[in-house]
Chains A and B, each alone.
Chain A
């Protein structure tokens, strides 16, 4: 299993500002995943954070809006930039267990409200 610490757990931010979410894993992992869960919706993958290379973004998500850092194999950050109320959501980081076809483990999530 993997233990993931994510912070902040929640925040209320003014529109136009940026928030950086941190994710720390208790073991080294090649890839870390960032998801968004809008109210009443399922999880949507934002990007995959690879150590030592650029993050890979899914359709509809761009680096300028969601820059990601991955300085080492246990840590990643996601920044939500120039926020608008539409960015109000839960943001989750996730890793897979060792090997292929294993379950995903999630951080506690960051509940973001943009006012």
Chain B
């Protein structure tokens, strides 16, 4: 069974701290990995994507991928109250000739001013 699992949270961090969000996936053949942010009542919006093992940095966000451990994480540095949202991990599971995105249950992050 193809699964994507996240810490459900809620996760609370003080403003300026580092927020760490974790995700594991079951399909070893997965090729690409995404972090989406979803504000309450809104559609998901892409924050980061990562395809290769290691770290990928974009501003205050760093995605980390370890395919051997089937683990992907998102670090948010200098957390701001505006970062308070639900973060969804999504994995493109291996399917011949097709994209098929599976989502984790999401981690609700609250940044406390």
Given contacts A31-B99, A42-B105, A92-B43, contact A104 B90 (CB under 8 A): yes
CA distance A92 to B42 in the complex (A): 10
Question: Is A41 part of the binding interface, using a Cβ–Cβ cutoff of 8 Å?
Answer: yes
Residues of chain B within 8 A (CB-CB) of A42 are: 88, 103-106
Could you tell me which residues of chain A, from 31 to 78, have a CB within 8 Å of some CB in chain B?
31, 33, 41-45, 48
Given contacts A42-B104, A101-B99, contact A106 B43 (CB under 8 A): yes
CB distance from A68 to the nearest CB of B (A): 16
Question: Is B62 part of the binding interface, using a Cβ–Cβ cutoff of 8 Å?
Answer: no
Out of B34, B43, B101, name the residue touching A109 (CB < 8 Å).
Answer: B43
Question: Is B54 part of the binding interface, using a Cβ–Cβ cutoff of 8 Å?
Answer: no
Given contacts A42-B88, A42-B105, A45-B102, contact A101 B31 (CB under 8 A): yes
Q: What 1/0 flags go to A70-109 for Cβ under 8 Å of B?
A: 0000000000000000000000101010001111101111
Could you tell me which residues of chain B, from 32 to 65, have a CB within 8 Å of some CB in chain A?
32, 34, 41-46, 49, 51
Between-chain CB contacts (< 8 Å), 29 pairs? A33-B101, A43-B44, A43-B88, A43-B103, A45-B100, A45-B101, A48-B100, A92-B43, A92-B44, A94-B101, A96-B101, A100-B99, A101-B32, A101-B51, A101-B99, A102-B32, A102-B99, A103-B34, A103-B49, A104-B34, A104-B99, A104-B101, A106-B43, A106-B44, A106-B45, A108-B43, A109-B42, A109-B43, A111-B41
Q: Please list the 8 inter-chain residue pairs (A to B) with the smallest Cβ-Cβ separation, ordered nearest first.
A: A101-B32, A106-B43, A43-B103, A42-B105, A42-B103, A96-B99, A103-B46, A42-B106
